[in-house]
């Protein structure tokens, strides 16, 4: 015999039907000891190994979960993955990754592949596509506060609380004119609104420059914020990547951090934790968001009728060397 042994070749060797081989492989009690022994002997002789994918499809399950990531360049999304994947693997599920930037149709592709579930990490440009897929595939949104349809669970950090933490930190240091490098999308808008409300509530003056959550855009916005008269004494960026751009802008303008300007980021990514950066940032609990999203998906797979909801994970502020009291005068 040439090629990989099949269930048909096992049946032929044992002198039984394919359906009886299937019953033996499923450990069915309906098979006599003699026939069971013959089938198992044929399996050993031929070196037959059942195809797990085929068996799962026969049972209506693939044991695969599609993971659609907004942007692999964003380290916070990668941290979410690190929290999510172990939960799925421990449950016997196989995570399969796609990036929305290069594969915008990934949610539909995963649905066509009959994945058991879908986790969307970040904010995809085509939410209608996600909602369409969620009508037939259990789906969880992770790391975004985008309002989903009736079939969507949402797991995210509490951005309102996180922004308040860092603004209160800056106000407590004595800063009153505080800049913000705003981000794009629903998360960027939410953080900007929370920033403006928190600064005004604390008696400060918010100064906002738009950006898109990249280092380059943060650098340009930082130059605009810090290069003119009446510059703020502190800047909160919408995420760590844009905060690094603000740090570079301060260096361009010969401003010392934190003596001349304090800088804070958001998400507490691995970049913020580098000794050379040592950025004050809000830990948005990426690993916990990932773990919670995984458990929400498992719960939904067990009970598709489970009520959906928004599940917020509590952030914490991590202070480092980029924030201090403003220079006197």
- Domain residue limits, the chain: 7-59, 64-157+286-314, 159-284
Predicted pLDDT at 57: 46
In this chain, the answer to whether the domains covering 7-59 and 159-284 adopt an identical fold is no
Residues 282-303: tens digit of each pLDDT: 999 999 999 999 999 999 998 8
Q: Is pLDDT larger for residue 326 or for residue 306? A: 326
Give the mean pLDDT of 167-173: 98
The stretch 169-194 carries a mean pLDDT of: 95
Does residue 253 register a pLDDT over 90?
A: yes
Higher pLDDT, 104 or 148: 104
* Beta strand 316-318 pairing with 280-283: antiparallel
Over residues 118-157, the pLDDT tens digits come to 999 988 777 888 888 988 899 999 988 765 555 688 999 9
On the question of pLDDT at 80 being above 90, the answer is yes
Tell me the pLDDT of the chain averaged across its residues.
Answer: 89
Flag the least confident range among 31-35, 40-44, 73-77, 309-313: 73-77
pLDDT of 237 reads 98
pLDDT at residue 242, rounded to an integer: 96
> For 256-262, what is the mean pLDDT?
97
Residue 323: per-residue pLDDT: 98
- The reply to whether CATH 3.40.50.1220 applies to domain 64-157+286-314 is no
pLDDT at residue 78 tops 90: no
pTM for this model (two decimals): 0.76
| pLDDT above 90: percentage of residues in the chain | 61
Give the mean model confidence (pLDDT) for residues 190-203: 97
Distance CA 169, CA 174 (A): 9
Average pLDDT (144-171) is 85
Question: If 0-12 CB within 10 Å is exposed, 13-18 middle and 19+ buried, where does residue 58 land?
Answer: exposed
Per residue in 47-74, pLDDT (tens digit) is 887 665 555 445 556 789 999 998 788 8
Give the residue among 104, 97, 103, 102 at the shortest CA–CA distance from 118. Answer: 97
Contact 178, 204 (CB under 8 A): yes
258 pLDDT more than 80:
yes
What is residue 243's predicted lDDT score, i.e. its pLDDT?
A: 98
Contacts 24+ apart (CB under 8 A), 33-40: 38/14, 39/10, 39/14
Q: Rounded to an integer, what distance in angstroms lies between the CA atom of residue 9 and that of residue 11? A: 5
Give the confidence band of 272 by pLDDT, cuts at 50, 70, 90: very high
Is 159-284 assigned to CATH 3.40.50.2300?
Answer: yes
Fold designation for 7-59: 434 Repressor (Amino-terminal Domain) (1.10.260)
């Amino acid at each position: 015999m040439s090629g990989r042994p099949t269930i048909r070749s096992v049946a032929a060797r044992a002198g039984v039907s394919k359906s009886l081989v299937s019953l033996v492989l499923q450990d069915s009690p309906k098979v006599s000891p003699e026939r069971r022994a013959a089938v198992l002997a044929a399996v050993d002789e031929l070196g037959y190994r059942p195809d797990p994918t085929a068996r799962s499809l026969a049972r209506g399950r693939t044991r695969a979960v599609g993971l659609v990531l907004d942007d692999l360049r964003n380290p916070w999304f990668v941290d979410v993955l690190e929290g999510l994947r172990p939960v799925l693997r421990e449950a016997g599920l196989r995570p399969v990754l796609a990036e929305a930037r290069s594969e915008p149709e990934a949610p539909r592709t995963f649905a066509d592949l009959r994945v058991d579930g879908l986790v969307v990490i970040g904010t995809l440009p085509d939410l209608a596509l996600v909602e369409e897929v969620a009508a037939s595939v259990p789906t969880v949104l992770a790391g975004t506060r985008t309002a989903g349809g009736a079939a969507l669970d949402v797991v995210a950090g509490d951005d309102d609380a996180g922004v308040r933490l860092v603004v209160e930190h800056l106000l407590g240091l004595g800063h009153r004119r505080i800049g913000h490098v705003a981000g794009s999308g629903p998360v960027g808008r939410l953080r900007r609104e929370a920033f403006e409300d928190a600064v005004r509530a604390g008696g400060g003056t918010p100064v906002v420059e738009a950006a898109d959550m990249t280092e380059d855009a943060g650098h340009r916005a930082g130059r605009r914020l810090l290069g003119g008269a009446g510059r703020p004494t502190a800047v909160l960026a919408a995420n760590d990547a844009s905060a690094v751009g603000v740090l570079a802008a301060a260096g361009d303008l010969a401003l010392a951090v934190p003596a001349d300007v304090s800088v804070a980021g958001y998400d507490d990514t691995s970049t913020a934790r580098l000794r050379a950066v040592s950025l004050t940032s809000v830990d948005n609990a990426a690993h916990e968001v990932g773990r919670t999203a995984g458990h929400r998906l498992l719960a939904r797979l067990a009970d598709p009728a489970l009520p959906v909801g928004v599940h917020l994970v509590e952030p914490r502020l991590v202070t480092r060397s980029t924030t201090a009291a403003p220079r006197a005068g």
